[in-house]
Structure 1
Amino acid sequence: MRLLSDDLPYEIDNRYLGPPGRSLPFAIRYSAVAVGLVIFVVVLWVARRMGASGLAVVPLALAVAAGITTIAMRLVNHDRSVVALLIAFHRELHTPRRPRTVARADFGSATSRMPVRPLPPRRKGRAPHARRGRP
C-alpha cells in the first residue's frame, strides 16, 4: 500500500526549468504557459481590433502578455487555482449592487453628475448646533 504525503502541492515537478542539459535562469510554471498563451491571443486580437498591424505587433503583444501573465500568476498558488481566480473575477463583475441615486446639477453650459446621499431626518425641538449639558 502506498501512502501519499501532504507535500504534493509543493512538488517541484510542476515547473519547467529548461531543456535537458541547459537550464533557464528562471522557472516557468506549466499553468503559466497555458494562461500566457490565452492572454497572448487576447492581446493580439485587441491589437488587431485597434488597427495595429506590422511586425512590431507580435513582439509587443508577447511583452504585454508576459507582463499580464506574471501579474496574474502572482495570485495563483496551490490553494487558489486559475479557475478559482477566474470565478472570483466573474462573480465580482456580476454581483448585484445597490443602485446609486444620481442628481443633475446645472452650472451654466456644462452639466455634471454627482452621487447624492439622502440626509438623515432632523430632530425636532432643538437647534442643530445646540449641545446637551452645556449652557
Structure 2
Amino acid sequence: MIETDDLIYRVDNHYLGPTGKTFPVPIRYSAVGVGVGTFFVVFLIARTVLHLSLSYGTFLIMVVATVAITSRITKYINPDRPLRSVIKAAYNDLTSPRPPKVGQTVHITFPGKRRSSSDGDAQPHS
C-alpha cells in the first residue's frame, strides 16, 4: 500500500473473518455486496434462461462464476470510483454509437425544415 497523507485511504476496509478464524485472503466490504448481487443475477440466469437443475455441480459452477465476475467488477471499484459510476460507465460504453462497418450504408439526415406531402399543395408566396 502506498502511504498517503489522506486518512481515508489509510483505513483498512477489508473483512478478515470472525475473530480467531480469518479468511485466507482479505475481502473488501464492497466486494461482499457486489458478490451477493452477482450471485442472485447468476442464479436467475442459470435457472430461468439456461434451465439448469439445482444440483451440487450447478451450484459450484454458479459460485465460481460469481467469484470470477465479482473479482472483475471490484477491480474497478475504489473510493474515487464507486459502484454506481462503474455501472453508469459500462452502460454508456455499451449504448454509445459505433462507427459503421466496412460496406455498411450510412444515412445522414441534416437538421432543417422537412417537407411533407401537404407542403406541395400549398400556394407559393408571391
Q: TM-score, normalised by structure 2?
A: 0.69
SS at match of 1:26: coil
Q: C-alpha separation between the residues in 1 aligned to 2:45 and 2:10?
A: 36
Asked if residue 10 in structure 1 is aligned to residue 10 in structure 2, the reply is yes
Unaligned runs of 5+ in 1: 102-114, 119-135
Q: C-alpha separation between the residues in 2 aligned to 1:10 and 1:79?
A: 14
1:61 is matched by which residue type in structure 2? M
Q: C-alpha separation between the residues in 2 aligned to 1:32 and 1:85?
A: 14
CA deviation vs aligned residue, 1:105-130 (integer Å, no higher than 9, x gap): xxxxxxxxxx2289xxxxxxxxxxxx
Q: C-alpha separation between the residues in 2 aligned to 1:81 and 1:39?
A: 16
In our comparison, the structure showing a higher alpha carbon Rg is: 1
1:34 is matched by which residue type in structure 2? G
Runs of 4+ in 1 over 4 A off after TM superposition: none
Shift of 1:11: 0.5
Q: How many residue pairs end up in the alignment?
A: 99
Residue 92 of structure 1 corresponds to which residue in structure 2?
93
SS at match of 2:25: coil
1:71 is matched by which residue type in structure 2? R
Asked if residue 82 in structure 1 is aligned to residue 83 in structure 2, the reply is yes
Residue 53 of structure 1 corresponds to which residue in structure 2?
53
Residue 70 of structure 1 corresponds to which residue in structure 2?
71
2:11 is matched by which residue type in structure 1? E
Residue 103 of structure 2 corresponds to which residue in structure 1?
116
Give the structure with the higher percent helix: 2
Q: C-alpha separation between the residues in 2 aligned to 1:64 and 1:47?
A: 11
Shift of 1:60: 1.2
Q: C-alpha separation between the residues in 1 aligned to 2:63 and 2:11?
A: 29
Unaligned runs of 5+ in 2: 106-126
Residue 127 of structure 1 corresponds to which residue in structure 2?
none
1:80 is matched by which residue type in structure 2? R
Asked if residue 38 in structure 1 is aligned to residue 37 in structure 2, the reply is yes
SS at match of 1:79: coil
SS at match of 2:22: coil
Q: C-alpha separation between the residues in 1 aligned to 2:46 and 2:10?
A: 38
Percent of pairs with identical residues: 31
Q: C-alpha separation between the residues in 2 aligned to 1:68 and 1:97?
A: 26
Shift of 1:24: 1.4
